[in-house]
Structure 1
Amino acid sequence: MLTAVRSRSRNALTMLSALVTLTAVALAGCSASTTPSGPAAPEASASRSQAAPAGDAFPVTIPSALGDAVIPKKPERVVTWGWSSQDAVLALGVVPVAMPKNTYGGDADGVLPWDAEKIKELGGTTPALLSSDSGEVPFEEIVEARPDVILAPYSGITKDDFAKLSKVAPVVAYPEKPWALPWQDQIEIIGKALGRSAEATALREKTAAYVASLAQANPVLKGKSFLYGAANEADQLNIYRASDPRVALLVDLGMTVSPSVAALDGDPTSGSYFYGISYENVGKIDADVLVMYFGSQKEADKFVADPVIAAMPNIREKRFAPIVGESFVMASSAPTVLSIPWMLDRYVPQLAAAVGKTGA
């Protein structure tokens, strides 16, 4: 589920071309006198009447690894793609017109719990939910949403995807690597794209202060080493590199990445955010705490029941802090200003208890 794969069908691209043409004609006929259909940000008229904070004048240009997004005016119809961009948009008080559907971790509609809470708080309605299970960019659905901007800074879109989506609206992609944007940068980039930089900076500082308060309240975490892994492939442990945002979040809590993460990495320049080792090598892991995620308790129980895994010191000595439940997996895999407080209040006590068993 959490492996980033992107592909496209020839029929989808053909439909995209036709839809872009039709959309351009429709928009030209609508003009500003017609109110666009579909969900909109709550209190949109009020927000448009307010002067933008200093530094938020439009047009604005946001560079990325795939090209520049030139946003001519403050966006009103926002589409998000990839992981978690909708969190930053909602946190800034805007309800997207379309965002990815999350069948993994979401509610019956495919909306993540912290997003559902925020939409309700804002008095908005559920946006159009973009098909995301296949891993393909849903070009036709994005065109139908008639976006002013497409926000995909935490995604795996390709240069070809970027070029095609840019025919629909300006596309904000990742600054350097796919699937590797820290939450701090995400809120700042999206804040700039929406003309809400001051609000974004305030949210970044508030969330950082919250994480720091948890670290201060749990001094047992300070300096303890951890390895963050996943058992989502048969007889293989996937290990997340130090640059991954889920790893960085634990570092922000005062912990340190185990030297084993670098020592076991057979190809550190691969560009991926994780790598795999076979179960026969798990005995080489040396970490105060093993952190892993599981979609259900049944999956976690199956993992620790394997004789090779059960023999690991971390498992034997209960220096193991699993993140269990699909929503928790999503919250920790792509941390944001919304998901961080949603999950850390519940997870940090468990993490601290596992660290406490190190006896040091």
Structure 2
Amino acid sequence: MTVLSGRSAHAVQSDDPFPISIDHAFGTTIIPARPQRVVTLGWGGEDALLALGIKPVAMPRYGQFPDGVLPWVREAIGPARPALVSQGLIDYEALLLLKPDLILAVRTNINAQAWHRLQRIAPTVAFRSGPLQADWKEITELAGVANGVSEQARDLIYATEQRLCDLSDVNPIIRGRSFVFGDYFPGSNALGFYLPTDGRVASLLDLGLAVAPGVADIAASTSERIGTSISLELLDMMETDLLILWFPPGARQELENNELFRRYSPVVRGGYIPLDDPLSMWVACNPSVLSIPYGFPQFVERLADAASRAGRREL
């Protein structure tokens, strides 16, 4: 981890009085004064901060990019060079050296024990929804409240919602189309797919798409909250107009060579959208107030092209 010295740069003034109390899954966090050194853990926290005019002193490293920084974050952060922290195990000693006065850990899978340990370093705001379930709206709202700019965060959420509506208006062919959004890993005999409670799915629903009936049925009958999987032998049971899959390196060709996958209805009809490059994968998997304006126009265009090719499945 590279450590950056210096204060978080604020381009905004607080519109909420401190101290601020924030309720979340593990209790209540009290933030005594406007934060000056914010650390973000998990996905999307740095996006929300930067859109609010706040530069974090540390944020996650994204290993698929040479400098470890997402392109839209690189564009927004300018010459600042925050420390980059691992997205794996939390390095508590390294975080302590950063001397944060706020830790945002909203789209993470931390548990109560980890939260209490982080809380001993600095006031820590966790998710309200559940582990890895927070969507871009929850992340932006909590980032705004924690930094005393809740009204600005609400305005940002509204503007981003409007942008999604505009994209839907420009591409009406996607409205009402059913979709499965998932992944495939090398050597697997199943597709993973995300449930409606996952933040990746929420942004597609905002565009007017509809969760495939099979996904909705499974969501109603499982205790899983993020995603589950389906055997390649049973793919025909998961009827859908569009199939959106992201792949780690080397996995796409393996799946596309599988005869069971090649016979799957959305693949045959042209409704398959593969995401195997880092940019398209992270745009779709990490929707935020920065990534949506940066990459969703191209992503939605791909969805519309696939919907045009595939038509509507027969009910």
TM-score interval for Structure 1 and Structure 2 normalised by the shorter chain: over 0.9
Equivalent residue in structure 2 for 1:78, among 31, 38, 47: 38
- Are the aligned partners of 2:34 and 2:148 in contact in 1 as well (CA < 8 Å)? yes
RMSD: 1.7
- Are the aligned partners of 2:241 and 2:311 in contact in 1 as well (CA < 8 Å)? no
Alignment partner, residue 20 of structure 1? none
1:1-360 equivalent positions in 2, closer than 5 A: 38-42=5-9, 44=10, 47=12, 50=13, 52-53=14-15, 56-104=16-64, 106=65, 108-120=66-78, 124-132=79-87, 135-232=88-185, 234-264=188-218, 268-270=222-224, 272-295=225-248, 299-360=251-312
Per-residue deviation, residues 283-334 of structure 1 (Å, max 9, x unmatched) = 21100111111245x5333322211100111111211122231232222212
Aligned length: 308
Task: Give the Cα–Cα distance (whole angstroms) in 1 for the partners of residues 144 and 219 of structure 2.
Answer: 35
What is the TM-score normalised by the length of structure 2? 0.93
Task: Give the Cα–Cα distance (whole angstroms) in 1 for the partners of residues 27 and 115 of structure 2.
Answer: 8
Task: Give the Cα–Cα distance (whole angstroms) in 1 for the partners of residues 240 and 25 of structure 2.
Answer: 34
Task: Give the Cα–Cα distance (whole angstroms) in 2 for the partners of residues 39 and 310 of structure 1.
Answer: 53
Instruction: For 1:77, give the aligned amino acid.
Output: R
Instruction: For 1:161, give the aligned amino acid.
Output: A
Task: Give the Cα–Cα distance (whole angstroms) in 2 for the partners of residues 118 and 223 of structure 1.
Answer: 34
Describe the SS at the equivalent of 1:341.
Answer: helix
Task: Give the Cα–Cα distance (whole angstroms) in 1 for the partners of residues 218 and 34 of structure 2.
Answer: 47
Distance 1:239-1:303 versus aligned 2 partners, 3 A rule = same
Describe the SS at the equivalent of 1:232.
Answer: coil
Structure 2 gap ranges (5+): none
Describe the SS at the equivalent of 1:68.
Answer: strand
- Are the aligned partners of 2:44 and 2:139 in contact in 1 as well (CA < 8 Å)? no
Per-residue deviation, residues 235-273 of structure 1 (Å, max 9, x unmatched) = 111011011111111111111101011335695113x30
- Are the aligned partners of 1:295 and 1:329 in contact in 2 as well (CA < 8 Å)? no
- Are the aligned partners of 1:237 and 1:276 in contact in 2 as well (CA < 8 Å)? yes
Question: Which structure would you say has the larger Rg?
Answer: 1
Instruction: For 2:164, give the aligned amino acid.
Output: V
